[in-house]
Amino acid sequence: MIRWMRVLFPKICPMCGEAVRETEILCAACAQDLPQRPKKALIGEVNGRPVYCRALYRYHSAVRRALLQMKFAGQCSRAEGFGQLLGALVAGETYDLVTYVPMEAYRERIRGYNQARLLAEYCGAVCSIPVKPVLYKTRHTAVQHEQESTGARARNVEGAYAAHPLNGASVLLCDDIATSCTTLRSCVHALKQAGASEVQCICVALSGRAL
């Protein structure tokens, strides 16, 4: 999918949306005003190994505005910079594949893209790790950010994801925002059931609720 992105959209700073050079990710102003990176959040375990979600930023202020623009306002070109930053976050780590949290098909058609997939593809390109769509939805779920509590979010996605056979592959799972980590936990469980030997998660932003 990312092959046609540059044809349609110029490269921009993912934080503010200003144009940047091909060799840049953030513009000079945003690079000097980076928000503090949060601690990683524990998601679960696979084969006795802890599964963490690491993020570039806390989910607030400029980061929140940028992600909402990417997710709901059609500014999918912000995914390039954020995806490249995610690739830098895991530089030197080894995985058999990168995958992403899937969307329901009709929601993806309405939006025109899955931002988690774009992030994963840019991240995989930086790290030279193949990106594969191994996760899929097994049933309809309500919109997560409309759920009123962490418990409601967990019930909404419980058993909602499955994965194609992984035969011992190590997996890097990518998403845009982790508010309560309930979606990631459900996806990690599906990957574990499908035979993943290791799973780690990354996202652009973690909310305070997840820490």
pLDDT tens profile 17-52: 999 998 999 999 999 888 777 789 999 888 889 999
Beta bridge partners of 165: none
Residue 13 — pLDDT band, cuts 50, 70, 90? Answer: very high
Q: Is 23 within the bounds of a domain?
A: no
Average pLDDT, the chain: 91
pLDDT reading at 209 higher than 70? no
Residues 151-170 have a mean pLDDT of 90
In a domain, 178, yes or no: yes
Residue 73 buriedness (CB in 10 A; 0-12 / 13-18 / 19+): exposed
Of 138-142, 159-163, 197-201, which gets the smallest average pLDDT?
Answer: 138-142
On whether residue 8 sits in a domain, the answer given is no
What is the Cα–Cα distance from 113 to 80, expressed in whole angstroms? 13
How many domains is the chain partitioned into structurally? 1
- The reported pLDDT for the residue numbered 185 is 92
CATH at residue 80: 3.40.50.2020
With respect to residue 29, please indicate whether it lies within any of the assigned structural domains. Answer: no
Residue 19 domain-assigned (yes or no): no
Phi-psi region of 60 (alpha: psi -120 to 50; beta: other; left: phi over 0): beta
- Rounded to the nearest 10°, the torsion over CA 99, 105, 111, 113 is 30
Whether 7 shows a pLDDT value over 90: the answer reads: no
Structure confidence at residue 211 as a pLDDT band (50, 70, 90): low
Residue 5 in any domain: the answer is no
Integer Cα distance of 122 and 143 in angstroms = 25
87 is written with which tokens? 């690739």
pLDDT tens-digit readout, 94-105: 999 999 999 999
30 found inside a domain: no
Q: How sure is the predictor about 80, in pLDDT bands with cuts at 50, 70 and 90?
A: very high
Sheet holding 198-206: strands in order across?
A: 41-46, 49-58, 198-206, 170-178, 97-100
Question: What is the residue whose two structure tokens read 């990683």?
Answer: 40
| Structural domain span for residue 191 | 37-210
Q: What is the pTM of this model?
A: 0.91
In a domain, 83, yes or no: yes
